[in-house]
Structure 1
Amino acid sequence: MATKSACGELRHLRGIAMAHRRLESGLTSSPAVMFGEALRFAREQAGYTQEDLGKILHCHRTVITRWEGGKRPMDADTVARADDALAMGGLLVRLWERVDWHADIEHPDWFQKYVELEEEVAAIRAIQYNRINGLLQCEDYARAILSLGDARNIPERLAERVATRMGRQERFLTGDGPMLLVVLDESAIRTVVGGPGVMRRQMEHLLSVSEQSNIFIEVAPFARPARKMPATSLFLLLMPDGKEWVYSESLYRGHFSDAPSIVTEARRDFDLLRGDVLSVGDSCALITDAMEEYRHEERRAGDSFLAQEQLQRGRWGRVHRGGPRIPSRRGPGA
């Protein structure tokens, strides 16, 4: 096996994984999924359960499940140890090296679960702090916010992530789409992302999507009664079967729960906050005011740039402390 060419090895592994895939799983063009299938096939051929392999690699069985599903990348050292434990002769390592993990896995594994629920959800109610909710972002705002992450220096990756975020919005931007009720803390509107021009376009986008019959945007103003509220953004996802999930995020992690007590507490927090928010109409008025403020800032920034440019042009013809005169760029007859 070790003497095969790289292409031959890849074809061999692809054949193994395709043959092993259950019919109900369907076909895939994802290299990450193909790698996961090869890992699962090798594990089963070696006679190990996921729990057995987890003990060898010092991880939980659920981590093995995500690796085999192509939903979480393995690190190089772990791949090498798995390859050795499963007697693959370096084959898993070679395949792993040929997967572009950043391009193939669009979301962290915890956020992937949220995206999967979002694709089926019947209604979403959300409290959003500091930034505009991803389902309400315009393309310029999404690009600006995503460029703050690790995709900023890789244009292709940034473009893919922006396209993915825009794609998530599609089913909500139709009249018969799922209900989307978002309470935006005023901090989400006042926190400048990408400059006043981007924020002006984002405010315009909020006003536009709020005209959809299934989308409701309410603003929780700074000037509201002080209450003990969630310290982070909170999402209530109602599924078609009536089941409800609570989702929130902390630093680098997402948290899910369908426990009745937690769902009840999240509903209470949401309802308490809504008692202090602006109506849909008043929220649109506040967003309109913010839009005009950003428009003013945008114009002022443009005027400042123009003034600076004119100042620089004025300096072209000055005489500098007895030095040679700097010639003007204008022609003799200008």
Structure 2
Amino acid sequence: MTTKTLCEDPWHLKGKYMAHRRLGVGPTSSPAEMFGEALRFARERAGYTQGELGKLLHIDRTVVTRFESGRRSMDREVVERLDDLLAMGGMLVRLWERVDWQADIESPDWYEMYTELEAEALAIRVLQFNRINGLLQCEEYVRAMMGTGNARNNPKLAAERVDSRLKRQGRFLVADGPMLMVVLDESAIRTVIGGPGVMRRQMEHLLAVTERSNILIEVAPFGRPLVTTPSTSVVLLSMPDGKEWVYSESLYRGRFSDAPSVVGESRQDFDLARTGVLPPEDSRALIAEAMEEYRFAERRSQDGHLVQEQLQRGRRARVHRGGPWLPVRRRPGA
């Protein structure tokens, strides 16, 4: 038995963990959160800190924190190990089996969980609609994206979000970076974000990153043969431990799953979507064509602004030289 020695009264830590519960946990209808609270109870009853338990499991303390908050699922082997370490007699395993982890891992900090997985992934495959994937966005595009919503009137928040997204890209833009394979629906290329100048710069960026050996972009063009694909963008993340995660995003939140059936279905969807894509060189040609179209639109916009400004200057000059027209009363017989 590896648990710490407890006194005869198993409630000797009652004051400690009950105070923590009152401060940190309120009523919930989430089975995942209820399991996490049971895990916290068992850990504190056994006398472990989160850091100590993390060392025994060979994981970081922050991962234990996520387990206890119900924001991260666990493999059965990890739950069985915890149940043994904390002398729960199989109770944790039984509780874990009752949680629908695929449906219940859905919390306000989904973005944080995704970035944690992304930062560890050995390979990422993306099926992307309507906008450029965050790992492929140039700075101008990111700024245009972040200049909306809550960040519109908060320059500091917008700047923090821009900096965070650009930093996420860094590990993919170095030698021997992780594999990034993106099936980009043409709608992502044609949806204008920030105006033609921003889109022209974004197309240039896509062409630049595809020169890297670890980044592959394949465009699924309009008019391709009809294939059944998900209605939202999907990300497949291959982790160092051999596990795969599926991440999909709705308007307000993200959803994760590592269930083999869900991962297998998503992998099949990704492979099916690739049957209608252009080869890499043809994909680059389509992106280059879009870039020139945006460049032309950008120049027309600039020329239009110049013409409008010249007209306004001419009108101002005429008003300044002639002054306002006033009626003149003529004298009789003049």
The two structures have a TM-score, normalised by structure 2, of 0.68
Match of residue 249 from structure 1 = 249
Structure-1 separation of matches of 2:261 and 2:130: 27
* Aligned partner of residue 241 in structure 2, secondary structure: coil
Match of residue 304 from structure 1 = 304
Matches within 5 A, 1:97-108: 108=108
The percent of aligned pairs where both chains have the same amino acid is: 61
Higher relative contact order (CA 8 A, sep 6+): 2
Match of residue 113 from structure 1 = 113
Matches within 5 A, 1:239-318: 239-318=239-318
Check conservation: 2:196, 2:295, Cα contact below 8 A.
yes
The two structures have a TM-score, normalised by structure 1, of 0.68
> Structure 2 unaligned runs (5+)?
1-13, 41-61, 68-106, 326-334
Check conservation: 2:227, 2:276, Cα contact below 8 A.
no
* Aligned partner of residue 119 in structure 1, secondary structure: helix
**Letter paired with 1:254:** G
> Structure 1 unaligned runs (5+)?
1-42, 72-106, 326-334
Determine if the alignment matches structure 1 residue 47 to structure 2 residue 18.
yes
* Aligned partner of residue 237 in structure 1, secondary structure: strand
Determine if the alignment matches structure 1 residue 145 to structure 2 residue 145.
yes
Determine if the alignment matches structure 1 residue 162 to structure 2 residue 194.
no
Count, aligned residues:
247
Structure-1 separation of matches of 2:15 and 2:153: 40
Report deviation, 1:297: 0.5
* Aligned partner of residue 149 in structure 2, secondary structure: coil
* Aligned partner of residue 150 in structure 1, secondary structure: helix
Q: Structure 2 vs 1, CA of residues 53 and 302 (structure 1 numbering), >3 Å: closer, same or farther? A: closer
* Aligned partner of residue 47 in structure 1, secondary structure: helix
Which string of whole-angstrom CA distances, capped at 9 and with x for unpartnered residues, describes residues 280-304 of structure 1? Answer: 1101000000000000000000000
Structure-1 separation of matches of 2:201 and 2:293: 12
Report deviation, 1:318: 3.3
Moved more, 170-179 or 57-66: 57-66
Structure-2 separation of matches of 1:182 and 1:271: 12
Structure-2 separation of matches of 1:149 and 1:319: 42
Larger-Rg structure: 2
Determine if the alignment matches structure 1 residue 193 to structure 2 residue 183.
no
**Letter paired with 2:253:** R
Match of residue 237 from structure 2 = 237
**Letter paired with 1:178:** P
Structure-1 separation of matches of 2:317 and 2:111: 59
